[in-house]
């Protein structure tokens, strides 16, 4: 499971600037999806082989008169508690303040791996000016400049270095067929996740196995259905109790993110009686960002009238437009309506995510696409696409090689995407197209 880094510090020290630095690589990939709502407090990043989740605890504003704990937003406090490592951000120019001392006191009690950083340290001489920060009793302080990107790599190294992370497994390209489909059911509290899962687990066609030992990592329930192996991943707000799943009250963004990351396919359950809420759109955004396949199910379809149905279809169109590639189902978990077709979509989405796209086929498709519509000239140059190969799975990545490819427009990329999707029947999975220019 991906480690979680929480950024903590009083307002104005540069947390969101640092957050943007730490999540930049992923941002670039998903930037051009229309309608994508992003929760700017949770993001994902990668350094070298290691991927991580970052939380910007913007709400961490200690108020001396009312006590730091009361003032912390509940989600923020929970997020810090769930984080693997805390990055405590200080302002190298402003020096220590009373608020810094309060936060330090809170963090010392938390006894969680903590990295102390003095931000805005560009152009400052090492050492001397930072010595006062040792007063906080949290160890070494690292000088960084979030605005200029200085020291940020070392910061990530230090943060991840405290965690004894195992080397990430190399993505095995090929023999996925026998592996179980890792399925996560995500959604807001009360969307009907446990009702749906228990309906499934009660099915005759589904052979549930006993749960092996639980670890800190995802709790999964293995089962088999019509010969296909699955692993159901425990999601935020869900816990297994004996043979059934029970909803627990707390919703945790961190757990949701981790479950999404662990899954191959995410079934996103939306409560029809509530419409598409901000939280739904955020979860959908995380799924897209992590590249997982997704199946959308609008639950409690039995409990809404025609007018509500129309409104709902419209809000799916407008708020979840970036998930157009996802199969959409209208179901009632409680009345067991529309449940069976979900399986077909889940399996199809998994197949699409792990589909193999041979270089000759990709290159032929690319050539046909160019013949059909040549990319536009920009100034004196026209992008020249030469060949394409597959660069990854789950999500599938298509890498196009050629010259002046930075000139390929987003509209042209979408045109290519549509053709690739059609040819390989890529339903339910995000698809990434990367351009590699050789000069």
Q: Which residues bind ligand GDP (CB under 6 A)?
A: 9, 11-17, 119-120, 122, 145-148, 187, 189-195, 237, 247, 299-300, 302-303, 332-335
Residue 252 marked ligand-binding: no
CB of 7 to ligand GDP, least distance (A): 8
CB of 331 to ligand GDP, least distance (A): 7
Question: What residues contact residue 371 under an 8 Å CB cut-off, 6+ apart?
Answer: none
User: 200 to each of 194, 272, 328, 407, how far by Cα in Å?
Assistant: 10, 20, 19, 49
Token pair 């600037």 is found at 17
The residue among 136 and 268 lying less far from ligand GDP, judged by its C-beta, is 268
Residue 32 marked ligand-binding: no
The residue among 196 and 385 lying less far from ligand GDP, judged by its C-beta, is 196
CB of 248 to ligand GDP, least distance (A): 8
CB of 11 to ligand GDP, least distance (A): 4
CB of 260 to ligand GDP, least distance (A): 15
The residue among 99 and 394 lying less far from ligand GDP, judged by its C-beta, is 99
Gyration radius (Cα) of the chain, Å: 24
Residue 192 marked ligand-binding: yes
Q: Quote the CA–CA distance of 223 and 220 in Å, as a whole number.
A: 10
CB of 327 to ligand GDP, least distance (A): 18
The residue among 192 and 396 lying less far from ligand GDP, judged by its C-beta, is 192
Q: Which residues pair with 225 in a beta bridge?
A: 206, 228
Residue 14 marked ligand-binding: yes
User: How many angstroms from the chain centroid is the CA of residue 241?
Assistant: 27
Interstrand relation of 206-208 and 220-225 (parallel, antiparallel or unpaired): antiparallel
The residue among 264 and 299 lying less far from ligand GDP, judged by its C-beta, is 299
Residue 363 marked ligand-binding: no
The residue among 103 and 333 lying less far from ligand GDP, judged by its C-beta, is 333
Q: Give the burial string for 86-99 (b: 16+ CB within 10 Å, else e).
A: bbbbbbbeeeeeeb
The residue among 16 and 105 lying less far from ligand GDP, judged by its C-beta, is 16
Residue 3 marked ligand-binding: no
Please give the DSSP secondary-structure letter assigned to residue 13.
S
**What DSSP string runs through 372-421?**
HSPPPPBTTB--EEEEEEEEETTTTEEEEEEESGGG--HHHHHHHHHHHH
Residue 10 marked ligand-binding: yes
Q: Quote the CA–CA distance of 181 and 222 in Å, as a whole number.
A: 10
Residue 315 marked ligand-binding: no
Q: Give the burial string for 302-321 (b: 16+ CB within 10 Å, else e).
A: eebeeeeeeebeebbeebbe
88 and 114 Cβ atoms separated by less than 8 Å: yes
Residue 299 marked ligand-binding: yes
Closest CA to 272 of 320, 311, 304: 304
User: How many angstroms from the chain centroid is the CA of residue 123?
Assistant: 35
CB of 145 to ligand GDP, least distance (A): 4
Residue 264 marked ligand-binding: no
226 and 327 Cβ atoms separated by less than 8 Å: no
CB of 133 to ligand GDP, least distance (A): 15
The residue among 1 and 147 lying less far from ligand GDP, judged by its C-beta, is 147
CB of 246 to ligand GDP, least distance (A): 8
Q: Quote the CA–CA distance of 18 and 10 in Å, as a whole number.
A: 13
The residue among 237 and 285 lying less far from ligand GDP, judged by its C-beta, is 237
Q: Quote the CA–CA distance of 3 and 50 in Å, as a whole number.
A: 9
Residue 220 marked ligand-binding: no
Q: Quote the CA–CA distance of 175 and 261 in Å, as a whole number.
A: 20
Q: Quote the CA–CA distance of 369 and 363 in Å, as a whole number.
A: 10
Residue 266 marked ligand-binding: no
Known binding positions: 9-16, 56-60, 119-122, 187-194, 234-238, 299-302
Known binding positions for GTP: 9-16, 56-60, 119-122, 187-194, 234-238, 299-302
């Amino acid at each position: 499971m991906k480690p979680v880094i929480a950024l903590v510090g009083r307002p104005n020290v540069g947390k969101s600037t640092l957050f943007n630095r730490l999540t930049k690589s992923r941002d670039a990939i998903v930037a051009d999806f229309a309608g994508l709502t992003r929760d700017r407090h949770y993001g994902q990043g990668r350094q070298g082989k290691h991927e991580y989740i970052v939380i910007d605890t913007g709400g961490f504003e200690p108020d001396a008169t009312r006590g730091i704990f009361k003032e912390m937003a509940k989600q923020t406090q929970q997020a810090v508690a769930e984080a693997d490592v805390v990055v405590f951000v200080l302002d190298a120019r402003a020096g220590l303040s009373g608020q810094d001392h309060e936060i330090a006191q809170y963090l010392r009690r938390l006894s969680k791996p903590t990295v102390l950083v003095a931000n805005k340290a560009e152009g400052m001489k090492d050492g001397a000016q930072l010595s006062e920060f040792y007063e906080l009793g949290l160890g070494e302080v690292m000088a960084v400049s979030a605005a200029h990107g200085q020291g940020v790599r070392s910061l990530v190294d230090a943060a991840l270095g405290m965690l004894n992370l195992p080397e990430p497994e190399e993505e095995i390209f090929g023999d996925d067929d026998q592996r179980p489909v890792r399925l996560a059911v995500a959604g807001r509290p009360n969307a009907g996740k446990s009702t749906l899962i228990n309906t499934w687990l009660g099915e005759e066609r589904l052979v549930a196995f006993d749960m092996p030992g639980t670890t800190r990592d995802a709790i999964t329930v293995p089962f088999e259905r019509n010969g296909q192996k699955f692993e159901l991943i425990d999601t935020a707000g869900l816990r297994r109790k004996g043979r059934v799943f029970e909803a627990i009250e707390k919703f945790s963004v961190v757990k949701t993110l981790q479950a999404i990351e662990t899954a191959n396919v995410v079934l996103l359950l939306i409560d029809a009686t509530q419409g598409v809420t901000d939280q739904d759109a955020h979860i959908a955004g995380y799924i897209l960002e992590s590249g997982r396949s997704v199946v959308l199910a609008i639950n409690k379809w039995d409990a809404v009238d025609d007018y509500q149905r129309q409104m709902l279809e419209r809000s799916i169109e407008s708020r979840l437009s970036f998930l157009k590639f996802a199969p959409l189902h209208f179901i009632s978990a409680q009345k067991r309506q529309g449940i069976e077709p979900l399986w077909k979509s889940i399996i199809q989405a998994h197949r699409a995510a792990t589909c193999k796209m041979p270089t000759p086929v990709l290159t032929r498709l690319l050539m046909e696409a160019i013949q059909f519509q040549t990319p536009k000239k920009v100034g004196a140059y026209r992008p020249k696409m030469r060949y394409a190969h597959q660069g990854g799975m789950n999500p599938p990545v298509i890498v196009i090689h050629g010259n002046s490819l930075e000139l390929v427009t987003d509209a042209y990329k979408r045109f290519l995407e549509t053709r690739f999707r059609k040819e390989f029947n890529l339903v339910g999975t995000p698809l990434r197209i990367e351009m590699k220019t050789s000069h």
